[in-house]
């Protein structure tokens, strides 16, 4: 079946006079014309030129377009570092119930005690899971969580009179968001080398330790899917030089209930709620990026936080040393809500089992692929691993991109490609805990098969999707970012 | 085709051609091959003072952005308006029509720190693994 | 265990294939000294039935806007959401997809985002829209960062005091470490007097930020402010109300440089503050400076029209330490909501919605200002929200009204201090009926009658 109907652009479907939503007649007296209520110089002559379609056009349009998406509900999605796991349906039902969905962000604390209790409990859980003491649920996404933590660090150093601490050290395998956050918080980002095993090069790190050190940002397990064995040594060193350790929590899903950042020396960390727990990612958002910090950094967290007084909960705005706010209102509550439900559904044993199965699944996939694909950093991993198509490219002219595009033909979303930057022709694979052995086997079989296909065939993949190999150079050179009516 | 041996090379892959006290600057074929299709350029403005080995602009492909480094110290006296409009010229003719800007050498500045063709080719060979 | 699939047999087979004895062996790289040798101290697992009961219990302790008559605004509004919006966004092809990095497997999301970008351009008359930011407050901060990047060297931002106090707080937090001066321009008459801008602006000014209609609900003079800003080489940054676009002049029509908005009003439930939608649009000339994702049209290898993420070199995961924005995710699902909402309304529906809000807000203001001692806080035109001055302390009044089922408004003195302790800001959407407004007026009248003798 080929769902083509009404898939032109909305603007091409538009026909003057068609309508979908209708408004009731005005029930208050219309004693004065609009022009008496609003000054003429503020009024637009016409309403915006939005498309005019009927309800069935709208529904067919978006329903048919939706079939051109791969998503976690229809396809295995081993997108490394992005942790695409199942989104339980019960969460959608609960999150959309009026008792939560219809709460106004500025209504009084007395009228939303249930909401505040849930958020308070979430604060407690996140502290316990990270082994840290205080939390802000405000950041809207992981990247904003990072930025918030660095704002906190800057405020802390200002407060204790150590303004000279302007350097943030970041391993070269880090997410691009790390140096970006450092720069926007007024720090200088400095790259630390990886050693041959893909871990932090301690000698290189030591070269950068002095009283200019502010923060060391580390992803652990790192983006190669490896746990930093020397993490305690590293965090001790950073503390000895008066610096703070920031844990990029992107990979917390590997260590839930097994080890805690606070216990291995982190002073601050963010969570990506959709990765560590679960949350639908909506084609690129929403996320939610709460941060937890050690006690001495608590005063600088954004405002408000939920506090408990007896059996009542309230939002605490009276925090004089706070950095302020990174967004309006409380936070991405809808995503926090789903994370809360995931934690409550799994409990302490279940969360540990999440990490165990995420790590088991990744290692199993690695074991199934290592004879056919180069795995530059050893034959064990945590929750994800990075393969390289470097040799395949050299020997058979098959690049990581070709493999990715061909996987789509088989109904698998592609792994993350060309990241981390320290691995050439990288294919970063993360199966997550919500997949079965059968799925992993079928995926591995497919990757083994693709490897044997002719390069010329792969270079034209995908062959079965609605489009193939869009011209990205053209898109970037002469950007067309909106539809415009044809002239004349 | 330009006479490549007449050019001088920076380790950041810019070529320089001296004519009087004006240096014409572009990027090498090797850099173009690494970049793939150039989609956008941000070139320094005429009149701007630039310092050897410091960034003075940016060059972009679809998935990457790189700094352009001034190979010599001086003042920008001319910018190639055609490549700004159509950066694919850099892919097509990096040593000719794809030149990017001209620098008038500052007093005392020269090209002595830059490589000759042979030295540059050795550098590429070592980078190419 | 919920959501986990591997059986004990599966696990044995998998471990054998890996070549280890136990799962524990896979965690060998984590030193014993940093292991958590106990279970996490969180409550035990609950089944769907049990957790459902717990969630119901918590929901029961909330009084939502569906159980009260809501006149709360301040950036989040109780507008009607047509059923088509929920029907479409509840398709998991949209809500369980990731960022459309693989264009071939994401044409649904990509085309929808391209349509969203176009709809926002139509809504604002601006030339470029990104595929969304987090929400309205950080959108203002991102606009300021963008302006700093466009006007390199200038380090001062002017912002009207009538801009949402939380948005200004976000702005201050974002600028705190960048050596930027924020000058807050007073608005004693309930709007930013253009003369105040003229006096404050200089060649150090990078941009002027105005919210129109402002936090109190009153109209600003964005056109005059835009002209003053641009005369001094600064950018005009306007935070607008999307619903007001059904009536008010659009930012592109009066030449704004950057237009931002909270997009919650376009089909997103109140949800206690998020996730919402940050809208941002700008002039064509700034296309390479706009933060966030952009979707562009192109063709595939067979010449077929399609869509891709484009100009990605602007984004921080590529620019790294040279990034000028922190935005990473967008709010794709809420951009989709807005796209469906705006299309469901169409030009006529948007105009009618705006007009209903306008008329009902004015009716409410008329009814309430007939009460003794009640007047508009400022003599300014307004759209769907307005601020009253009452003859009593509003905090007490609000508690009483809440007991009668009204979320009657925001006590804006909480943000602006004691001089506005008797000010109340009310928002009136198309959902409010004449009966509800009359009911509120009656309840306020009753409370004033009771309170007045005591107050005097």
The answer as to whether C337 is a domain residue is yes
Structure confidence at residue C446 (pLDDT): 95
Q: In the Cβ-directed half-sphere of C291, how many Cα atoms lie within 13 Å? A: 31
Cβ of residue C16 closer than 8 Å to a chain A Cβ: no
User: Which candidate in C13, C142, C328, C332 is best for mutational testing of the A interface (most A CBs within 10 A)?
Assistant: C328
The answer as to whether C220 is a domain residue is yes
What pLDDT, in 10s, does the model give residues A372-384? 999 999 889 999 9
The answer as to whether C57 is a domain residue is no
The answer as to whether C435 is a domain residue is yes
Cβ of residue C102 closer than 8 Å to a chain B Cβ: no
Closest CA of chain C from B9, distance in Å: 26
Name the 3-class secondary structure at B52. coil
Average pLDDT for B18-32:
94
Q: Which one is predicted more confidently, A354 or B61?
A: A354
- Indicate whether C331 and C357 sit together in one domain: no
Average pLDDT for A10-14:
97
pLDDT over 70 at C267, yes or no: yes
Last residue of a domain, one of C315, C341, C367: C341
pLDDT over 80 at C456, yes or no: no
Fold of A353-474: 3.90.1150
C326 neighbourhood in chain A, CB within 8 Å: 143-144, 146-147, 177, 180-181, 184
The answer as to whether C223 is a domain residue is yes
Contacting residues for C111 by C-beta, under 8 A, at least 6 apart: A7, A9, A65, A68, C307
Cβ of residue C373 closer than 8 Å to a chain A Cβ: no
- Indicate whether C282 and C297 sit together in one domain: yes
What pLDDT, in 10s, does the model give residues C55-72? 999 999 999 999 999 999
Q: Are residues A433 and C4, on separate chains, in Cβ contact within 8 Å? A: yes
The chain B residues in contact with chain C (CB within 8 A) are 39-40, 60-65
Q: Are residues A477 and B40, on separate chains, in Cβ contact within 8 Å? A: yes
Number of neighbouring beta carbons within 10 Å of residue A229:
14
Q: Which one is predicted more confidently, C322 or C34?
A: C34
Cβ of residue A137 closer than 8 Å to a chain C Cβ: no
Q: Are residues C336 and A345, on separate chains, in Cβ contact within 8 Å? A: no
Closest CA of chain B from A426, distance in Å: 15
Last residue of a domain, one of C341, C358, C384: C341
Q: Are residues A476 and B88, on separate chains, in Cβ contact within 8 Å? A: no
Structure confidence at residue A70 (pLDDT): 96
The answer as to whether C262 is a domain residue is yes
- Indicate whether C309 and C240 sit together in one domain: yes
Nearest residue on chain A to B61, alpha-carbon basis: A473
d(CA B124, CA B28): 11
Nearest residue on chain C to A408, alpha-carbon basis: C105
Structure confidence at residue C1 (pLDDT): 78
The chain B residues in contact with chain A (CB within 8 A) are 37, 39-40, 60, 62-63, 87-88
- Indicate whether C189 and C256 sit together in one domain: yes
Considering CB atoms only, which of C288, C312, C322 is closest to B63? C312
The b/e string for C35-74 (b: 16+ C-beta within 10 A; e otherwise) is ebeeebebeebbeeeebbeebeebbebbbbbeebbbbbbb
What pLDDT, in 10s, does the model give residues C441-453? 999 999 999 876 5
Extract the runs of DSSP E, i.e. beta strands, from A33-166. Answer: 134-136
Structure confidence at residue C271 (pLDDT): 97
The chain A residues in contact with chain B (CB within 8 A) are 418, 472-473, 476-477
- Indicate whether C205 and C122 sit together in one domain: yes
Helix %, strand %, coil % of chain C (to 5): 45, 15, 40
Structure confidence at residue B1 (pLDDT): 55
- Indicate whether C143 and C239 sit together in one domain: yes
Can you give the CATH number for the domain in which C306 is found?
A: 3.40.640.10
Reported confidence tier of residue B65, pLDDT bands at 50, 70, 90: confident
Average pLDDT for C65-86:
97
Q: Which one is predicted more confidently, A341 or B61?
A: A341
- Indicate whether C310 and C353 sit together in one domain: no
Closest CA of chain A from C286, distance in Å: 13
d(CA A453, CA A459): 10
Domain A92-345 has CATH 3.40.50.2300: no
C residues 427-446 near A, CB within 8 Å?
A: 430, 433-434, 437
Classify strands A188-192 and A167-171 as parallel, antiparallel or unpaired: parallel
Structure confidence at residue B128 (pLDDT): 58
pLDDT over 80 at C318, yes or no: no
What pLDDT, in 10s, does the model give residues A65-104? 999 999 999 999 999 888 999 999 999 999 999 999 999 9
* Structural domain boundaries enclosing C380: 66-77+347-455
End-to-end Cα spacing for chain A: 37
Q: Are residues B65 and C313, on separate chains, in Cβ contact within 8 Å? A: yes
Q: In the Cβ-directed half-sphere of C69, how many Cα atoms lie within 13 Å? A: 21
Classify strands B55-60 and B40-42 as parallel, antiparallel or unpaired: antiparallel
Instruction: State how many domains chain C has.
Output: 2
d(CA A477, CA C249): 33
Range with the lowest mean pLDDT among A275-284, A343-352, C34-43, C233-242? A275-284
Last residue of a domain, one of C302, C324, C341: C341
pLDDT over 70 at C455, yes or no: no
Contacting residues for C327 by C-beta, under 8 A, at least 6 apart: A143, C133, C134, C138, C142, C291, C292, C315, C316
What pLDDT, in 10s, does the model give residues A237-286? 999 999 999 999 999 999 999 999 999 999 999 999 999 999 999 888 89
Structure confidence at residue C453 (pLDDT): 58
C274 neighbourhood in chain A, CB within 8 Å: 105, 140, 286, 327, 329-334
- Our CA angle for C393, C399, C400, nearest 5°, is 95
Q: Are residues A44 and C253, on separate chains, in Cβ contact within 8 Å? A: yes
Name the 3-class secondary structure at C69. strand
Find chains touching chain C: ≥3 CB pairs under 8 Å: A, B
C residues 284-343 near B, CB within 8 Å?
A: 288, 312-313, 318-319, 322
Q: Are residues A281 and C320, on separate chains, in Cβ contact within 8 Å? A: no
Go through the domains of chain B in sequence order and give each one's CATH number.
4-109 (2.40.50.100)
- Our CA angle for C195, C198, C203, nearest 5°, is 170
Considering CB atoms only, which of A22, A183, A368 is closest to C17? A368
Find chains touching chain A: ≥3 CB pairs under 8 Å: B, C
User: Which candidate in B35, B59, B61, B62 is best for mutational testing of the A interface (most A CBs within 10 A)?
Assistant: B62
Find chains touching chain B: ≥3 CB pairs under 8 Å: A, C
d(CA A132, CA A39): 56
Report phi then psi at A118, rounded to 5. -60, -45
C86 neighbourhood in chain A, CB within 8 Å: 96
C312 neighbourhood in chain B, CB within 8 Å: 62-63
d(CA C107, CA B86): 29
Considering CB atoms only, which of A94, A117, A408 is closest to C105? A408
Q: Are residues A473 and B39, on separate chains, in Cβ contact within 8 Å? A: yes
A476 neighbourhood in chain B, CB within 8 Å: 39-40, 60, 62
- Indicate whether C298 and C356 sit together in one domain: no
What pLDDT, in 10s, does the model give residues C117-148? 999 999 999 999 999 999 999 999 999 999 99
Average pLDDT, chain B: 91
Q: Are residues B64 and C313, on separate chains, in Cβ contact within 8 Å? A: yes
CA C150 from chain center: how many Å? Answer: 24
User: Which candidate in B37, B44, B57, B62 is best for mutational testing of the C interface (most C CBs within 10 A)?
Assistant: B62
In contact, C341 and A8? CB cutoff 8 Å: no
d(CA C365, CA C345): 27
- Say whether pTM exceeds 0.90: yes
pLDDT over 70 at A156, yes or no: yes
The answer as to whether C103 is a domain residue is yes
Nearest residue on chain B to C311, alpha-carbon basis: B62
Can you give the CATH number for the domain in which C371 is found?
A: 3.90.1150.10
Task: Give the A:C interface size as CB pairs under 8 Å.
Answer: 684
**H helices, E strands: number in chain C:** 15, 14
Contacting residues for A434 by C-beta, under 8 A, at least 6 apart: A85, A86, C3, C4, C5
What pLDDT, in 10s, does the model give residues A198-220? 899 999 999 999 999 999 999 99
What pLDDT, in 10s, does the model give residues C357-387? 999 999 999 999 999 999 999 999 999 999 9
B92 neighbourhood in chain A, CB within 8 Å: none
Reported confidence tier of residue B129, pLDDT bands at 50, 70, 90: very low
B39 neighbourhood in chain A, CB within 8 Å: 473, 476-477
A52 neighbourhood in chain C, CB within 8 Å: 346-348
Average pLDDT, chain A: 95
Residues carrying CATH 3.90.1150.10, chain A: 353-474
Cβ of residue C61 closer than 8 Å to a chain A Cβ: yes
Structure confidence at residue A171 (pLDDT): 94
Cβ of residue A26 closer than 8 Å to a chain C Cβ: yes
Using alpha carbons only, how large is chain A's radius of gyration in Å? 26
Structure confidence at residue A487 (pLDDT): 79
Percent of chain C whose pLDDT exceeds 90: 93
In contact, A461 and A409? CB cutoff 8 Å: yes
Cβ of residue A46 closer than 8 Å to a chain C Cβ: yes
Residues carrying CATH 3.40.640.10, chain A: 92-345
d(CA B104, CA A183): 33
């Amino acid at each position: 079946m080929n769902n083509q109907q009404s898939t032109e652009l909305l603007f091409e479907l538009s026909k003057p006079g068609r309508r979908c939503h209708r408004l009731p007649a005005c029930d208050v007296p219309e004693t004065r014309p609009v022009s008496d209520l609003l000054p003429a110089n503020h009024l637009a002559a016409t309403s915006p030129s939005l498309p005019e379609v009927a309800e069935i056009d709208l529904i067919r349009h978006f329903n048919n377009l939706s079939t051109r998406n791969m998503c976690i509900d229809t396809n295995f999605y081993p997108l490394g570092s992005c942790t695409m796991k199942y989104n339980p349906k019960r969460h959608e039902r609960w999150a959309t119930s009026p008792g939560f969905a219809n709460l106004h962000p500025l209504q009084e604390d007395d009228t939303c005690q249930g909401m505040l209790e849930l958020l308070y409990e979430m604060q407690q859980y996140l502290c316990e899971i990270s082994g840290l003491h205080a939390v802000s649920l405000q950041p809207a996404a992981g990247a904003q969580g990072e930025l918030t933590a660095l704002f906190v660090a800057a405020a802390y150093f200002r407060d204790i009179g150590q303004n000279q601490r302007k350097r943030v050290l970041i391993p070269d395998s880090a997410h691009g968001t790390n140096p970006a956050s450092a720069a926007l918080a007024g720090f200088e980002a400095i790259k630390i080398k990886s050693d041959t095993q893909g871990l932090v090069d301690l000698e290189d790190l030591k070269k950068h330790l002095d009283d200019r050190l502010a923060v060391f940002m580390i992803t652990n397990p790192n983006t190669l899917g490896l746990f930093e064995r020397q993490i305690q040594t590293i965090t001790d060193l950073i503390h000895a030089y008066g610096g703070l350790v920031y844990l990029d929590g992107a990979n917390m899903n590997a260590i839930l209930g097994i080890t805690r950042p606070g216990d291995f020396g982190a002073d601050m960390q963010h969570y990506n709620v959709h990765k560590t727990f679960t949350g639908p990612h909506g084609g690129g958002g929403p996320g939610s990026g709460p941060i937890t910090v050690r006690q001495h950094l608590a005063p600088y967290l954004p405002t408000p936080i939920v506090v408990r007084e007896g059996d009542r909960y309230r939002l605490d705005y009276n925090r004089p040393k706070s950095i302020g706010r990174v967004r309006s209102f409380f936070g991405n509550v809808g995503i926090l809500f789903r994370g809360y439900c995931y934690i409550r559904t799994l409990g302490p044993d279940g969360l540990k089992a999440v990490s165990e199965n995420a790590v088991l699944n990744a290692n199993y996939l690695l074991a199934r692929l290592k004879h056919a694909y180069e795995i530059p950093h050893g034959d064990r991993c945590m929750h994800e691993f990075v393969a390289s198509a470097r040799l395949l490219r050299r020997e058979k002219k098959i690049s990581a991109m070709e493999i990715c595009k061909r996987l789509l033909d088989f109904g698998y979303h592609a792994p993350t490609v060309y990241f981390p930057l320290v691995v050439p022709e990288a294919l970063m694979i993360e199966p997550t805990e919500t997949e079965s052995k059968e799925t992993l086997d079928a995926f591995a079989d497919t990757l083994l098969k693709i490897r044997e296909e002719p390069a010329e065939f792969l270079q034209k993949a995908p062959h079965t999707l609605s489009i193939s190999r869009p011209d990205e150079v053209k898109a970037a050179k002469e950007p067309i970012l909106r539809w415009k009516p044809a002239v004349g | 085709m330009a006479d490549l041996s007449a050019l001088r090379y920076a380790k950041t892959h810019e070529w320089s051609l001296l004519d009087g006290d004006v240096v014409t600057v572009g990027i090498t074929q090797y850099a173009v091959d690494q970049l793939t299709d150039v989609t956008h350029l941000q070139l320094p403005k005429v009149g701007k003072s630039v310092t050897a080995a410091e960034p003075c602009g940016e060059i972009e492909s679809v998935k990457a952005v790189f700094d352009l480094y001034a190979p010599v110290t001086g003042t920008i006296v001319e910018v190639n308006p055609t490549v700004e409009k159509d950066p694919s010229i850099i892919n097509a003719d990096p040593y000719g029509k794809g030149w990017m800007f001209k620098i008038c050498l500052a007093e005392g500045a020269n090209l002595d720190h830059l490589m000759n063709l042979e030295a540059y080719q050795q550098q590429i060979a070592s980078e190419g693994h | 265990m919920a959501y986990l699939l591997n059986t004990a047999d599966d696990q044995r087979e998998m471990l054998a294939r890996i070549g280890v004895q136990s799962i524990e062996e896979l965690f060998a790289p984590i030193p014993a000294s940093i292991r958590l040798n106990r279970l996490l101290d969180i409550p035990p697992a609950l089944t769907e039935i049990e957790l459902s009961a717990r969630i119901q219990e918590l929901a029961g302790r909330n009084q939502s806007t569906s159980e009260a008559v809501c006149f709360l605004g301040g950036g989040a509004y109780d507008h009607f959401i047509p059923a088509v919006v929920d029907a479409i966004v509840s398709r998991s092809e949209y809500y369980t997809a990731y960022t459309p990095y693989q264009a071939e497997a994401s044409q649904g999301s990509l085309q929808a985002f391209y349509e969203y970008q176009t709809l926002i351009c139509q809504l604002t008359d601006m030339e470029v829209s990104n595929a969304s930011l987090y929400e309205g407050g950080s959108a203002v901060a991102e606009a300021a960062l963008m302006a700093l990047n466009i006007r390199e060297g200038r380090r001062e931002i002017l912002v009207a005091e009538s801009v949402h106090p939380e948005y200004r707080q976000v702005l201050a937090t974002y600028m705190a470490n960048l050596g930027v001066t924020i000058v807050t321009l007073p608005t004693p008459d309930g709007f930013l007097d253009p003369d105040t801008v003229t006096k404050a602006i200089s060649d150090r000014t990078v941009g002027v930020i105005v919210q129109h209609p402002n936090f109190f609900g009153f109209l600003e003079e964005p056109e005059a402010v835009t002209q003053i800003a641009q005369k001094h080489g600064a950018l005009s940054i306007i935070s607008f109300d999307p619903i007001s676009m059904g009536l008010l002049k659009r930012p592109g029509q009066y030449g704004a440089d950057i237009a931002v908005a909270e997009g919650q009003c376009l089909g997103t439930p109140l949800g206690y503050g998020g996730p919402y939608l940050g809208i941002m649009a700008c002039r064509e000339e700034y296309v390479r400076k706009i933060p966030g994702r952009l979707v562009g049209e192109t063709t595939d290898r067979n010449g077929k029209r399609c869509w891709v993420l484009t100009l990605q070199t602007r984004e921080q995961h590529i620019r790294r330490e040279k990034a000028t924005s922190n935005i990473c995710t967008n709010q794709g699902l809420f951009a989709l909501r807005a796209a469906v909402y705006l299309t469901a309304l169409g030009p006529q529906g948007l105009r009618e919605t705006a007009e209903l809000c306008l008329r009902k807000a004015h009716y409410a203001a008329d009814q309430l200002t007939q009460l003794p001692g009640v007047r508009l806080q400022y003599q300014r035109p307004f759209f769907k929200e307005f601020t009253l001055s009452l003859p009593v302390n509003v905090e007490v009044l609000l508690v009483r009204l809440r007991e009668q089922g009204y979320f009657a408004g925001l006590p804006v003195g909480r943000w602006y201090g004691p001089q506005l302790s008797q000010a109340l800001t009310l928002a009136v959407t198309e959902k409010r009926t004449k009966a509800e407004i009359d009911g509120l007026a009656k309840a306020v009248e009753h409370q004033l009658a009771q309170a007045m003798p005591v107050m005097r």
